[in-house]
Amino acid sequence: MAYRADMMLGPVIVDVAGLSLTDEDRTLLCEPWVGGIILFTRNYQSVAQLRELVAQIRAVRPELLVCVDQEGGRVQRFRDGFTAIPPMADIGAVYRQDAERGVNLARACGWLMAAELRACGVDLSFAPVLDLDDERCAVIANRSFSIDPLVMSVLSEAFIDGMHDANMCATGKHFPGHGAVTGDSHFETPVDARTLDAILADDVLPYRNLCQQGKLDAVMPAHVVYSAVDKNPAGFSPFWLQEILKQQLQFDGVIFSDDLTMEGAGVIADMADRAHAALAAGCTALLVCNQRPAQLAVVATLKQSTLQPASNLQRLKRPFAWPDLDSLRNTGEWIECHHLLQEALAL
């Protein structure tokens, strides 16, 4: 089957184990239900190797969405050869001292992160984190700009503006908020017992502000149960995804499930059932990571369903602006943003 760059993408995002594709990887990526690939630290050795891996992916299907978690701080999958982006909490600290400098730093970091990935052929980073850090949740912590929803709104908007200027779409996570629980949804299903009003007033406020301004291209819900609202984690909840996110906030972009293999999604035992539940709730793309049998099971169950292998992932694709990192680093924008970052970190 011949693929075109404008073809509709399937909803499943998968990963691969190594630094290059295997024949098994290529077979999976050819499945119409697969729409993208997420890369991890294990997939990165050097800039040259990353570009070769992306070229291999494009040779299989040029339209696939190539993604990574490159937030900054401790969640930066590609390091050697890339600018070290600070934790978002460091940007928040600068903002508290000098608001204008903090906003400029947030935009510069969003631009640097996105532009360097784009120069290596990567389409999307799942960023920024919009969770408010109230010092309970270790898995969020310094990944967050602030505990203050208004500060979060200002800095995340600037970070996203930088991403957009670099021709990369933005994904806000983890809706409606992961910062007020102690548990890590990678290893358990955390429960947040706050009222709906409290969550809407605080955690959802940055999403509301960004949606009103048309800044968010995608959203990733949390594998957290908000027990006063719904018995299901947000990623399996029609209330959170359809009533709040789509209807109340008027969000019409891509909704990525968080990784369906995480323990936070374990309220539904069967992997195929998790995929169907996420789609039924309102997710339009499904992350299935680190377990090839789970990826095959999800693709197999979707192939047997009455659904069509289509998603809205294609809207996250953007033209590439720079042919390589060397070309990017010779631009005035890169030099200016890099200088601003180094100056801020030296304070």
Which residues does 330 contact at the CB level (< 8 Å), separation at least 6? none
pLDDT of residue 347: 66
pLDDT digit string, tens, across residues 169-211? 999 999 999 988 876 667 767 899 999 999 999 999 999 999 9
Q: Give 221's strand partners.
A: 175
Low-confidence ranges of the chain (pLDDT < 70): 1-7, 183-185, 188, 347
DSSP state letter for 33: T
Q: What's the one-letter identity of residue 70?
A: Q
Distance in angstroms (rounded) separating the CA atoms of residues 61 and 277: 28
The C-alpha R_g of the chain, in whole angstroms, comes to: 19
Q: Which one of the listed residues 186, 252, 270, 324 is annotated catalytic?
A: 186
Cis peptide bond upstream of 339, omega within 30: no
Q: Which one of the listed residues 90, 161, 217, 258 is annotated catalytic?
A: 258
* Alpha helices (runs of H) in the chain, residue ranges in sequence order: 23-29, 47-60, 88-97, 99-118, 149-165, 196-201, 205-212, 238, 271-281, 292-303, 325-329, 332-345
Helix (H) or strand (E) holding 59: helix 47-60
Question: Is residue 174 flagged as an active site residue?
Answer: no
pLDDT of residue 3: 37
Question: Is residue 339 flagged as an active site residue?
Answer: no
Which residues does 4 contact at the CB level (< 8 Å), separation at least 6? 63
Structural domain boundaries in the chain: 37-268+289-345
Q: What predicted TM-score, i.e. pTM, was given to this entire model?
A: 0.95
Distance in angstroms (rounded) separating the CA atoms of residues 242 and 132: 22
SS3 (DSSP) at 276: helix
Cα atoms in the Cβ-side hemisphere of radius 13 Å centred on 109: 34
CB 213 within 8 A of CB 157: yes
Distance in angstroms (rounded) separating the CA atoms of residues 119 and 96: 32
Task: Residues 37-268+289-345: name the CATH superfamily.
Answer: Glycoside hydrolase, family 3, N-terminal domain (3.20.20.300)
Sheet holding 171-175, edge to edge: 171-175, 218-221, 254-255
pLDDT of residue 1: 35
